[in-house]
């Protein structure tokens, strides 16, 4: 759930500057997401009313919830401290019937809170973009409802294995790490004294259709995204995804994803 705001003198004041972290690898900088994607933000998970759910042709959906912007798996419990998962970056495609002149996008991330807890989310992930035959990617992090930031200079290509981890050291502090296993590069960022507090009651592995200018972006055909090594550490140990709630994206009476868990450490989502 990425939240973006425009950083401008009109908002911040001509003499106000946003302090960016400096503990980054050489060649990696942070930039606000807003200048790259205009007014870009996402809300909390947006449920689809049960009366509006269209499940024709789908199977194994008795334990599925539907949302207009989230797909994946959510564990609901307590004492969640660190959530992790790895994906192989897909090659996004223009959806069937889409326009080659329009940009489509999707995001894959791991996070703590944002489902039943709506006060804050600690999250980090990777975006996929496609316009015609051109694809691009970026890595980002956020402590919602503050700004989301892109790790500029952190190279990502289709087929790369990316490991994402979000760790809460308290309800107001934590860190995120993204590792490009294929390229051998890692970026991290730490948070402290955050005003909006975590509940530590939700752990998520999500493919998202995020927002720009108050509306969901055109959703890319992301193929399949599978979170492997998916787990969350708690105050009493580490658990996998068994028993997680499955979420699929439905928009305009059309279900766009099919997600499931496999074993105790895998969450898979496919564009349908």
What is the count of structural domains for the chain?
1
Q: Give Cα 4 to chain centroid, integer Å.
A: 13
Instruction: Give yes or no for a contact between 32 and 17, defined as CB atoms under 8 angstroms apart.
Output: no
Q: Give Cα 193 to chain centroid, integer Å.
A: 23
Domain holding 152: CATH number? 2.60.120.700
Let me know if residue 61 belongs to a domain: yes
Let me know if residue 164 belongs to a domain: yes
Give per-residue pLDDT as tens, 200-213: 999 999 999 988 77
Let me know if residue 166 belongs to a domain: yes
Q: Which residue carries 């790369």 as its tokens?
A: 160
List of E strands, 78-157: 80-88, 103-112, 121-131, 134-144, 148-152
Let me know if residue 177 belongs to a domain: yes
Let me know if residue 67 belongs to a domain: yes
Mind giving me the DSSP string for 168-225?
EEETTEEEEEEEETTTTEEEEEEE-S-SSPP---EEEEEEE--EETTEEPPBPB--EE
The residues pairing with 187 across neighbouring beta strands, listed in sequence order, are 178
Q: Which residue carries 């995804």 as its tokens?
A: 241
Let me know if residue 2 belongs to a domain: no
What domain range includes position 42?
9-271
Give per-residue pLDDT as tens, 126-179: 999 999 999 999 999 999 888 778 998 999 999 999 999 999 999 999 999 999
What's the DSSP call for residue 134? E
pTM score: 0.84
Q: Which residue carries 């989230």 as its tokens?
A: 70
Q: How far apart (Å, rounded) are the C-alpha atoms in residues 239 and 265?
A: 9
Catalytic residue numbers read: 208
For 90-117, what is the mean pLDDT? 97
Give per-residue pLDDT as tens, 36-64: 343 345 557 888 865 555 544 343 444 79
């Amino acid at each position: 759930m990425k939240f973006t705001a425009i950083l401008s003198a009109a908002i911040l004041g001509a003499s106000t500057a946003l302090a960016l972290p400096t503990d980054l690898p050489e060649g990696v900088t942070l930039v606000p997401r807003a200048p790259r994607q205009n007014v870009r933000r996402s809300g909390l998970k947006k449920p689809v009313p049960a009366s509006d759910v269209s499940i024709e042709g789908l199977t194994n959906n008795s334990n599925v919830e539907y949302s207009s912007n989230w797909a994946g798996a959510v564990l609901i419990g307590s004492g969640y401290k660190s959530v992790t998962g790895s994906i192989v970056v897909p090659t996004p495609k223009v959806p069937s019937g889409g326009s080659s002149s329009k940009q489509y996008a999707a995001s894959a991330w791991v996070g703590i809170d944002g489902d039943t807890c709506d006060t804050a989310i600690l999250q980090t992930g990777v975006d996929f973009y496609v316009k015609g035959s051109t694809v691009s990617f970026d890595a980002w992090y956020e402590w919602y409802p503050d700004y989301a930031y892109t790790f500029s200079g952190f190279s990502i290509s289709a087929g790369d294995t990316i490991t994402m981890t979000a760790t809460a050291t308290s309800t107001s502090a934590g860190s995120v790490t993204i590792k490009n296993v294929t390229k051998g590069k890692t970026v991290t960022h730490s948070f402290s004294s955050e005003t909006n507090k975590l509940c530590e009651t939700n752990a998520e592995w999500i493919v998202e259709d995020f927002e720009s200018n108050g509306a969901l972006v055109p959703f890319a055909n992301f193929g399949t995204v599978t979170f492997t090594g998916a787990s969350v550490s708690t105050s009493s140990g580490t658990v996998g995804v068994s028993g997680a709630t499955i979420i699929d994206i439905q928009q305009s009476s059309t279900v766009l994803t099919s997600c499931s868990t496999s074993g105790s450490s895998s969450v898979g989502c496919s564009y349908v």
